[in-house]
Amino acid sequence: MEVVTPERALQAPPADATGYWLPDVDFVVAVFPARSGWETPSALFLDIGVAIGKHIPVLLIAEPPRKVDSSLAPLPLARVSLTNQPTLAARIKQFISVISNDFRPVGEDPPRVDHHMLDAISRDLEVLREQQLVSDQSAYLFEEIALRLLRAGGADVEAGNKQDMGYDAAGWVRGTETIFPDPLLFEFKLLREPRVAQQILAELAGKIAKRGASFGVIICFSIDPGPVRWPDSPWPLLIGFEITDLIQLLRGQTLAAVLRNRRNAIVHGGSVL
């Protein structure tokens, strides 16, 4: 990987085209940071043009509210904050999967989650509940369980770092590309009692608006058994699951189908559940 800064992009390319850096790369990621009044250097357009001419795949990353020149509209574009490492990683990973022919066609769902996998995850949740403890370690274990379930369902998700960003992972679920063109933000909550505080939904809704994500997905699990109570207020762009309910849904549907159905219900006036 070679990183080219705006300062270097402003430099004229060498007269000898054979010495130019682009022929030696497999793909190009052109980054447009959110700098007020910062215009795209002409050399960067040249880099992109050379890449297109040599059939080198190009991904544009624009940090909101930065706009990209209309002449670049045909190229794939991700609007992501440059400090949002999980979403950046997930978006670039998806791009690499596409150009390496390792990505499923839009609209095609991965197979259903294997029932043996669902049984194993259910047992891990029961072990977690038996500990009767909500700590940093138990919350981390629940996050790992939830990520395992999502990935088994065909999700390309990357977990965040240990800092509290208002969500725990970001990425895409194969088979939902047409309704979730931007990344999904995932929040995993291990609860002491079966009740989701309104503040949890409000914080995730704020992150969705700030990060330019498609939807937020909250997956929770209560140490104290019983039906989880969710806030009564409707929350646009938020989907919520109690993880054992999600496991039951995945016994008969794909993860993509579950998310599509829940999203459609919300858009037509349904609740977050």
pLDDT of residue 19: 46
pLDDT of residue 253: 93
The predicted-structure confidence for 99-143, as pLDDT tens digits, reads as follows 665 544 455 678 889 999 999 999 999 999 998 878 888 999 999
pLDDT of residue 165: 65
DSSP 35-78: -TTPPPPHHHHHHHHHHHHTT--EEEEE-TT----GGGTTS-EE
| Summary mean pLDDT of the chain | 80
pLDDT of residue 10: 47
Nearest to 84 by CA among 208, 216, 178, 195: 208
pLDDT of residue 17: 47
Whether pLDDT at 198 is above 60: yes
pLDDT band at 9; cut points 50, 70, 90: very low
What pTM was estimated for this model as a whole? Answer: 0.65
User: Across residues 231-250, what is the average pLDDT?
Assistant: 88
The predicted-structure confidence for 147-183, as pLDDT tens digits, reads as follows 999 999 989 888 865 555 668 888 889 888 778 877 8
pLDDT band at 18; cut points 50, 70, 90: very low
The predicted-structure confidence for 32-58, as pLDDT tens digits, reads as follows 888 755 666 677 777 788 777 777 888
**CB atoms inside a 10 Å sphere around CB 6:** 15
Q: How far is CA 112 from CA 76, 119, 144, 149, 157, in A?
A: 29, 14, 20, 11, 17
Whether pLDDT at 91 is above 90: no
Whether pLDDT at 207 is above 90: no
